[in-house]
Chain A
Amino acid sequence: MDIVKSSNDITSKVENALSKTKEVFTNVVSHLPFANIGKKDSNTYNIEVDLPGVRKEDIELKIEDGYLRVSAKREFKKEVKEEDYYMIGSYFGEISRVFVLPEDIDKNKINAKFEDGRLYISLEKEESKKAKTIKIK
């Protein structure tokens, strides 16, 4: 019994580790901006997107058909030529990422703030769909 249990344990752990590893590789290879998605409590979602080197004016945040799209542009400044660069580590061009939103999000209550190269988005559920605690008499 013990052997069966611990071998099941091991297989599930290895599977879990493999799926997490696959996620990491997908993230790295896809060149998408990294994001944290979390739930603050049962009624609020938080999304943070890392957009270093981008100015607030160059970010576009759009919600359409249940998808939230974050896109930004980083341009080469015109007076600098490409030959001037010694090393280019961070990419220029267009960055874009799409998040699928859960169905009960209130579209009018989305807050977005851009601070220190990171975009903070908070989303709230519609009033009628919020979780409620029920009092027992």
Chain B
Amino acid sequence: MKKENILYGLIVLLIGIVIFQGYLLYDDNKKVSSPEKHVSKSVIEKNNRIKDISKFYSSNPFEEFQKLQAEMEKAFNSMNSQFAMIPEFEDFFKDVTVSPSLNMKNLEDRYEIKVNIPGSDRNSINITTHNGILRVESKTEKKVDEKGDTFIKKEIYSGRFLREIPLPEDAKSDDIKSSYKDGVLTIIIPKQRK
């Protein structure tokens, strides 16, 4: 029985990935060729995507490709986090770690990184640096399921978060401050004075 499951799961996954990649490329292609139509589509989409679109039109095609790649990686991550929550696919995605999204600010005297790790157990948050790479990992809190609990929909990821961020050269990696509030981990790294 197990072997069958694996085989069919793999087939579905492959088909899904091909379709999904095709859709993403088609979607981004549409946005590049007709920007005006998409700006007026809906408030949510506008606010969420317009900031990315304005950065999409850089004069450097290589940069554009990098951005497209980053978007696809983010989408795949989101996909992984969802599949890990479905009981039929749980065996495949048992050891998966999800890369949390982050925002990184370049200020005059420091770098500020805000990582989205909602629902994490404070004691399990681990920040380390090694060779100029910042590594953030955490585990979500396990809520005790009581008897009689049934899930109608389960989309929120519970499991491990892991992200490695290469730091710029002028970041002082021995002097890192961090705080966790409202599901967001804020990391402040001072810059070296020249």
Contact = CB atoms under 8 A, between A and B. Distances in A.
Nearest to A41: B148
B16 A85 contact: no
A37 interface: yes
A93 B42 CA distance: 12
A24 B47 CA distance: 23
A68 interface: no
A113 B105 CA distance: 30
Interface residues of B, number: 58
A37 B153 contact: yes
Interface string B39-52: 00001111110011
A109 interface: no
Nearest to B47: A93
Interface in A70-121: 80, 82, 84-96, 116-118
Interface string B91-110: 00000000001111111000
B111 to A, nearest CB: 8
Nearest to B122: A116
Given A20-B89, A90-B102, A28 B82 contact: yes
B29 to A, nearest CB: 15
Contact of A90 (B106, B116, B119): B116
Nearest to A39: B150
Contact of B51 (A52, A88, A116, A118): A88
B146 interface: yes
B132 interface: no
Given A84-B107, A94-B43, 18 more contacts: A10-B8, A13-B5, A14-B8, A16-B88, A18-B12, A27-B82, A35-B153, A50-B119, A85-B104, A85-B105, A90-B102, A90-B103, A90-B116, A91-B48, A93-B44, A94-B47, A95-B44, A116-B183
Interface of A: 10, 13-14, 16-18, 20-21, 23-25, 27-29, 31, 34-42, 48, 50-55, 80, 82, 84-96, 116-118
21 contacts: A13-B8, A20-B89, A29-B23, A31-B45, A35-B155, A36-B154, A37-B154, A38-B149, A39-B148, A39-B151, A50-B156, A52-B183, A53-B116, A53-B184, A80-B105, A85-B106, A89-B116, A91-B51, A92-B48, A117-B184, A118-B118
